[in-house]
Structure 1
Amino acid sequence: MVIGLTGGIGSGKSTVVNMFSEFKNIAIYIADDEAKKLMNTSTQIKTQLIAEFGEQVYLNNELNRPYLASIVFNNKERLATLNAIVHPIVKEHLQDFIKENSSKDYILYENAILFENGSNSFCDKIITVTAPKDVKINRVIKRDNATIKDVKNRMKNQWNEAKKTLQSNYLIENLTLTKTREQVLKIHNSLTKKLC
């Protein structure tokens, strides 16, 4: 069983993933982390990125993230091009991960743009992490040392929360760690059919 976990920027998906990681017999796949690794290790991705964005997209054989971000974050067409190169390879990698972990109770698949890139189609259930907009903005400013404008631009590339929650099986409102932990436990118990 594949459980998608998503939420807008600053909603606290990493906090929620860390809480799920305490459970035994589940496997966790973090799409963004795996995509970053693959962008540095997959020859196929490297070749396509260089062809599309130029030689300077890699420095000393490592992805030049600031350079790439400066191109794609304010340009939807360029972002779509990047996603079209990276996502199919990540999807293949995920399918292998699912096969390798078929004996687990479930696979938690964390992806910030789960709906936006159609990955929700192979999830059995979906959890969306939410938080009020001002809380999310403040978290990202603190975490990334970003400006309000930067954060709002990044938010524009994601679906709004209402649209995500309508298509989700579970919601986690991530405001206090205690309440979030209670919600995580309840969902885990529901997924593994354990009684609270």
Structure 2
Amino acid sequence: MVIGLTGGIGSGKSTIVKMFSEFENIAIYIADDEAKKLMNTSAEIKNQLITEFGEQVYINNKLNKPYLASIVFNNKERLSTLNAIVHPVVNKHLQHFIKENSNKDYILYENAILFENGSDSFCDKIITVTAPIDIRINRVIKRDNSTIEEVKSRIKNQWNETKKNLQSNYLIENITLTKSKEQVLKIHNYLTEKIS
């Protein structure tokens, strides 16, 4: 069983993933981390990125993140091109991970753009992490040293909360750690049919 976990920027997905990681018989796949690794290790991705964005996209065989970011930031077309190169390889990698972990109770698949890139199609259930917009903005400003404008523009690039919430099976309102932990445990119990 694959359980998608998503949420807007600043909703606190990483915190929730950490809470899930305390359960023994589940496997966790974090799309963003795996994509970063694959961009440095997959020959298929490397070749396509060099063809598309030029030789400078790698320095000493390492992804030149600032260079790539400067190209795709605020350019939806170039960002789509990047995603079209990276996502299929990540999806293949995920399918392999699912097979390898088929003995687990479920696989938690964390992806910030789960709906936006169509990855929700191979999830059995979906959890969306939410938080009031002002809390989300403050978290991102603290975390990334961003300005309010930068955060708002990043939020604008993601699906709106209502749209995500309507397509989710479970919602976790992530405001206080205690409340979030209770919600995580409840969902885990449902998923593993240990309903108390």
Measured against the shorter chain, the TM-score band is over 0.9
Alignment deviations for residues 73-117 of structure 1 (CA, whole Å, 9 cap, x no partner): 201111100000000000000000000000000000000000000
Q: Name the SS of the counterpart of 2:84 in structure 1.
A: helix
Q: For residue 46 of structure 1, what is the aligned residue in structure 2?
A: 46
Return the alpha-carbon distance in structure 2 between the equivalents of residues 68 and 149 of structure 1: 22
Unaligned residue ranges in structure 1 (runs of 5+): none
Give the match for residue 2 of structure 1.
2
Distance 1:62 1:153 in 2: 28
User: SS at 1:168's partner residue?
Assistant: coil
- Percent identical across equivalent pairs? 83
Contact conserved, 1:74 with 1:153, CA < 8 A, in 2?
no
Could you tell me which residue of structure 2 aligns to residue 104 of structure 1? Answer: 104
Equivalent residue, structure 1, for 2:69: 69
Whole-angstrom CA distance in 1 between matches of 2:120 and 2:18: 21
Which runs of 4 or more aligned residues in structure 1 lie more than 2 Å from their structure 2 counterparts after TM superposition? Answer: none
Please give the residue correspondences for 1:138-157 in structure 2 after superposition, counting only pairs within 5 Å: 138-157=138-157
Secondary structure of the equivalent of 2:27? strand
Following the alignment from structure 2 to structure 1, what is the Cα–Cα distance between the partners of residues 156 and 52? 23
Equivalence for 1:116? 116
- Structure-2 residue corresponding to 1:127: 127
CA distance in 2, matches of 1:60, 1:149: 34
Distance 1:20 1:83 in 2: 27
> In the TM superposition, what whole-angstrom CA distance separates every residue of 1:140-175 from its partner, at most 9, and x where no partner exists?
111111122221222122101100000000000000
Query: Offset of 1:67 from its aligned partner?
Result: 1.6
TM-score, structure 1 as length reference:
0.98
TM-score of the superposed pair, with normalisation by structure 2: 0.98
**2:83 counterpart residue number:** 83
- 2:149 and 2:72 mapped to 1: Cα distance? 16
- Aligned pair count reads 196
Amino acid in structure 1 at the alignment position of 2:125: K
Question: Secondary structure of the residue that 2:78 maps to in structure 1?
Answer: helix
- What SS does the corresponding residue of 2:4 show, helix, strand or coil? strand
